[in-house]
Amino acid sequence: MGLEGAPQEAITAWSALGSGENSKVGIVLVHGFTSTPSVMRQWAEFLNSHGFTVRVPLLPGHGTSIAELENVSWQQWPAEIEIQINHLLIDCERVFLCGFSMGAAASLHVAAHYQSQLTGLILVNPMIHRKNAWPTAVKIASRLVKSFGTAGSDIKRSDVTQWKYDRTPMRAAHQLLRLLEETRPLLPAIKLPLLLFRSASDHTLPASNSEIILREIGSSVKEQVVLHNSYHVAPLDHDQEIIFAKSLTFIRKFS
């Protein structure tokens, strides 16, 4: 699915102020690689309906054209998340990070440096490695191949759409691998409470990604929830209500 015909609200950043006693709790929800805020919008709206202040950023290079993604460096993705956190910290007393796929890797990178400003982490089908994919090899290949086609959205439901690029620039794939390479060594330093959702059937990322994070992260409080009726894009799939409900419980518990 390309971005042709995408509603503007699906491919742009979105934020909403909270209300009541939960308004001082902020949540940043981060989409994945080649994707858009459309993946996180319903989840954010659910949390906002319970009074939380939410921000769903558009990561640099996304939601526009693959030409823009081709020119992004991996550092720009964590930097955008840091901007969102700093916005929330103006009025919020506690901040949580929710990351999906590559957005989870970028969130982990930020979490390692923002320990004192964050309260908890929620990850959905997170990415932390790509087996048999080496940054140097991909960088060399990018000189010969500009982009490659990507599969359709890995969603079990047939009635929802993840608005995303239908091609991936090779240079951006190299930057993605650099993000993973830089983030994995930081896992032991992360001590935040962690809630991790993993789809039992994920055709995009193997379970080893979640296993590595759960094994290597320094958090003393960490819980895994296995989703049995969703594929990779779980925030839009059949199990989204499980994600919504359990993340709400987690945020209430630690805030």
Look up residue 57 and give its amino acid: P
CA distance 202 to 206: 7
Query: In the chain, which ranges are continuous DSSP H helix?
Result: 38-49, 66-70, 76-89, 102-113, 135-141, 170-183, 208-216, 240-254
The reported pLDDT for the residue numbered 166 is 85
Q: What top-level class would CATH report for the domain 8-254? A: alpha beta
Residue of 154, 202, 237, 239 marked catalytic: 202
**202 part of the active site:** yes
pLDDT over 70 (residue 144): no
Residue of 38, 232, 237, 247 marked catalytic: 232
The 10s digit of each residue's pLDDT in 151-173 is: 667 999 989 888 998 888 888 98
pLDDT over 70 (residue 18): yes
What percent of the chain has pLDDT above 70?
A: 91
The reported pLDDT for the residue numbered 132 is 60
The reported pLDDT for the residue numbered 130 is 78
Contacts of 246 (CB under 8 A, 6+ apart): 195, 197, 225
**91 part of the active site:** no
Coil, strand, or helix at residue 74? coil
Residue of 101, 107, 153, 219 marked catalytic: 101
Per-residue pLDDT band for 108 (boundaries 50, 70, 90) equals very high
pLDDT over 80 (residue 58): yes
The reported pLDDT for the residue numbered 2 is 74
Per-residue pLDDT band for 119 (boundaries 50, 70, 90) equals very high
Q: Are 63 and 164 in contact (CB under 8 A)?
A: no
What percent of the chain has pLDDT above 90?
A: 79
pLDDT over 60 (residue 138): no
More confident residue, 134 or 186: 186
The reported pLDDT for the residue numbered 170 is 84
Cα distances from 150 to residues 12, 66, 145, 154, in angstroms, run 21, 12, 14, 11
Per-residue pLDDT band for 53 (boundaries 50, 70, 90) equals very high
pLDDT over 60 (residue 246): yes
Give domain limits for the chain: 8-254
The 10s digit of each residue's pLDDT in 175-229 is: 999 999 999 999 999 999 999 999 999 999 999 999 999 999 999 999 999 999 9
